[in-house]
Amino acid sequence: MRKRMRLVCVLAVLALSSVLGGVADAGTYKPEYKASIVVGPAGPWGEAAIRFAGLLKERTKGRINVKNYHAGQLFAGKQTNEFTLLVQGVGDFAFGSTINWSPQIKELNLFAMPFMVPSYKALDAVQAGQPGKKLFQLIEAKRVVPLAWGENGFRQLTNSKHRVSKPADLEGLKIRVVGSPIFIDTFRALGANPVNMNWGEAQTAFQQGTVDGQENPVVTVIVPSKLWTTQKYVTLWNYAIDPLVLGVSKLSWDAFSAEDKSIVKKTAEEIMAWQKKGARAGIDTSSEALDTLKQNGMEVFALSAKDMGAFRAKTKPVYDKWAREIGADLVRAAEKIAAATK
C-alpha cells in the first residue's frame, strides 16, 4: 500500500511538472522590460524604440511590455555603461550605438576607424559578411543577444566658430566626443582639443558655450536635437560610421518562450530595417536633411575627396594603432570588403 502511494505521488509530480513546463516553456517574465536609448524620442533612432515597444506588446498580447528610457535615463549619465547594464540585467533591451558599447567590446571600434568605411554599400557588406557575424558572436559571448543592426549614421562635424575645411581649422577647437578612447586619439591627431562628455551634458555645454563643437550624424542626431540653436558650421566628411545594435540581455532572453523569442527577433529585424532606412533618408537619395540644416541657418560644407586626404594622412597613426587594438584579421577583412564594394 505504502509503495503504491509513493508511486502515485511520483507520477503526480511528474505530470504536474510536464504541464507547467509546457505552459511556461521557459522562465519567469518581468511585468515590465526596460529599454535604453541615448537620444530623445524624435528622429528614426528614438522613434524605432517607440515602434518596437508598441509592436511587441501587440504581438505578444502584453506578455512583453517594454518601457523606453530615452535620453539616457536608464544609464543615469554614463552612456558607456549601457552594455554593462544589459549584461547585468538591469536593462533588458538597448538600441545601442556601437561606440557606446566599444569600451566593453573593443572590436566594435572597427566602425570608428577614421575614414575606413567609404559608403553605405560598403557598410552593409561588412555587416552582412564575416566581420559582422564575428561582431555579433563577440556581443553574444558577453551575454547580450544582438537582434539586428540599425544605424546612427556617418558622423559629421559641427562647431560654433568657423568653417572647418582643413586640419588646421580644428586647431584649438574644443570638441565634445563620446567617452571612447579612439575619438580622443583621432581629434588630438587632428590638432583639436577633444573632451569626453555624455550626450546630455554636451548639449548643455554647447548652450553655455563651454564647448565649441561636436561630431554626430545629421538625420538621427543633428536634426532631431536642433543643433542649429548652438552650432553654425557643418563639415560633411563621413569620417566614421556609427551602426546601432538592438540587443537584449541574455538573462531576459533566456526566460522568453520559443514563440516569444521568435516574435522578438522578427520584430527587431523589421523595426531596425525601417530605422536604418530612416537614418539614410534625406541624406542618401535626397538633400532634405541638409536643406533643413541650411534653412535653420547652418553653413554646410562638404569636404572633397582631395580635402579629405589631409585629414586621412593626419589620422593614419590612429588608424594603425587601433587596427592593432581591434585585431588585424578583423580590420583586414573589413578593408577588403570595403575596397570591393567602392
Contact mark string toward ligand X2X, 63..92, x via CB under 6 A = ----------------x-------------
Establish how many alpha carbons lie within 13 A of residue 146's alpha carbon, considering only the half-sphere containing its beta carbon. 25
> Based on CB atoms, which residue is closest to ligand X2X, 97 or 127?
97
CA distance 86 to 138: 14
- Segment lying near ligand X2X (by CB under 6 A), choices 95-103, 131-139, 289-297, 317-325: 95-103
> Based on CB atoms, which residue is closest to ligand X2X, 176 or 261?
176
Which residues in 257-295 are b (16+ Cβ under 10 Å) and which e? beebbebbbebbeebbebbbebbbebbeeeeebbebbee
Q: Does 100 bind ligand X2X (CB under 6 A)?
A: yes
Out of 80, 81, 159, 216, the residue judged to bind ligand X2X by CB under 6 A:
216
The residue ranges of DSSP E strands in 210-297, in sequence order, are 213-216, 233-236, 241-249
Q: Does 152 bind ligand X2X (CB under 6 A)?
A: yes
Q: Does 222 bind ligand X2X (CB under 6 A)?
A: no
The gap from C-alpha 264 to its chain's centroid, in whole angstroms, comes to 18
- Segment lying near ligand X2X (by CB under 6 A), choices 96-104, 260-268, 285-293, 298-306: 96-104
Out of 35, 37, 39, 246, the residue judged to bind ligand X2X by CB under 6 A:
39
Q: Does 93 bind ligand X2X (CB under 6 A)?
A: no
> Based on CB atoms, which residue is closest to ligand X2X, 46 or 263?
46
Q: Does 99 bind ligand X2X (CB under 6 A)?
A: yes
CA distance 77 to 9: 55
- Going by the DSSP 8-state scheme, the letter that residue 220 receives in this structure is I
> Based on CB atoms, which residue is closest to ligand X2X, 38 or 49?
38
CB of 30 to ligand X2X, least distance (A): 25
CB of 155 to ligand X2X, least distance (A): 7
Q: Does 275 bind ligand X2X (CB under 6 A)?
A: no
| 3-class DSSP assignment, residue 269 | helix
> Based on CB atoms, which residue is closest to ligand X2X, 36 or 267?
36
Question: In this structure, are strands 33-36 and 93-97 parallel, antiparallel, or unpaired?
Answer: parallel
Look up residue 221 and give its three cell numbers. 542626431
> Based on CB atoms, which residue is closest to ligand X2X, 60 or 104?
104
Q: Does 203 bind ligand X2X (CB under 6 A)?
A: no
Look up residue 340 and give its three cell numbers. 570591393
| 3-class DSSP assignment, residue 191 | coil
- Going by the DSSP 8-state scheme, the letter that residue 149 receives in this structure is E
Pair 282, 300: CB distance under 8 Å: no
CA distance 318 to 297: 34
Pair 176, 115: CB distance under 8 Å: no
> Based on CB atoms, which residue is closest to ligand X2X, 199 or 311?
199
Out of 48, 221, 246, 255, the residue judged to bind ligand X2X by CB under 6 A:
221
CA dihedral 128, 129, 133, 134 (to 10 degrees): -150
Binding site for ligand X2X (CB under 6 A): 38-39, 79, 97, 99-100, 152, 178, 199, 216, 221, 242
